Amino acid sequence: MTETKPAVLVTRRMPSAVLDQLAPSCLVDLHPGTDDLPHEEVCARLRGKQGLICMFNDRIDAAAIAAGDSLRVIATVAVGFDNIDVVAAAARGIVVTNTPDILTGATAELTWALILSVTRRIGEADRAVRRGGWTGWTFDFMLGSELQGKRLGIVGAGRIGRAVAAVAPAFDMQVVFAAKPGADRDSVSDETVVSLDELLLTSDVVSLHLPLTETTRHVINRRTLARMKRSACLINTSRGPVVDEEALSWALEERLIAGAGLDVFEEEPRVHPGLLQRENVCLTPHIGSATRETRAAMAALAVRNVVEVLGGRPAVTPVHR
């Protein structure tokens, strides 16, 4: 009797060399598009599948997990897994995996790109040149603010926050962290840890590196924005809903802060209209991990996780709740 291979749903196109790693041991049901698979279709196609490879923007809620009557592993091609109901998965004994570490460097690089873009007004300057708004060099055209000697406040002391901090000495910046007690906080020196309030009051750049949870949702809101220095900028490469965009738009309008660099948004791909119209806001389309090297490595790790679990072995990078 021939043994049937386990079936795996892959919700987005991925490098074929990576998908080839699945083929010897699994039957692949690939959504070849670049568009999101509607939730109902994810549910319908999960029936009878043992594995799922999904993206951070696929909603794998209790309904999807219930529809996946044969599911044994959910592998997200992302470090954040707020889109997956890990409690419902655990209740069914389904292993959930993510792709930590390998995207740390790429996301830290994008964070610095945003910090520099906002403080040196790169997007605004580029737009001015393109529309013919640069009519000759003048002494005080497009003046920005300097990083040297300033304070970088990192909210969240996880891998990405620490990687961003590691670059700060190159700019002669001082770093402080606000982080809740636990393993992440233990991995940074005590002298650098301050309360969120102190971080907001004293930092020139505030960069957010938090997972999205019920406690971190809207951690940046009208009250916390009002604590920031008027000359400071806010950077978010974590998850959009960590920031109340309506409040951020208000704070920028009221000049309570000097600018913002955002790679993530509350309702992607929608961006709050109050942010779209501002010159002092640099907007990127959720590209923190978007380098060829990192995306290929993320896809390969997700595939390995599926192959391992479906082969009866432990996952390489199971999520830790």
Interface ranges with ligand GLV (CB under 6 A): 56, 78-80, 103, 288-289
Q: Which one, 216 or 289, has the nearer CB to ligand GLV?
A: 289
Q: Which one, 56 or 112, has the nearer CB to ligand GLV?
A: 56
- Supply the DSSP symbol for 193: B
Q: Which residues contact 208 (CB under 8 A, 6 or more apart)?
A: 155, 156, 219, 220, 234, 235, 236, 237, 238, 242, 243
Q: Which one, 219 or 258, has the nearer CB to ligand GLV?
A: 219
- Supply the DSSP symbol for 79: S
Does the active-site annotation cover 286?
Answer: yes
Q: Token digits for 68?
A: 């996946």
The one catalytic residue in 40, 254, 268, 293 is 268
**Ramachandran class of 212: left when φ > 0, alpha when ψ lies in -120 to 50, beta otherwise:** beta
The one catalytic residue in 45, 209, 286, 295 is 286
Shortest Cβ 237–ligand GLV spacing (Å): 8
Q: Token digits for 292?
A: 């060829």
Count other C-beta atoms under 10 Å from residue 223's C-beta. 11
Does the active-site annotation cover 268?
Answer: yes
Shortest Cβ 103–ligand GLV spacing (Å): 5
Shortest Cβ 181–ligand GLV spacing (Å): 23
Shortest Cβ 148–ligand GLV spacing (Å): 30
Does the active-site annotation cover 293?
Answer: no
- Supply the DSSP symbol for 220: B
User: What are the start-end ranges of the E strands in 49-105?
Assistant: 51-54, 73-76, 95-97
Q: Which residues are marked as active site?
A: 239, 268, 286
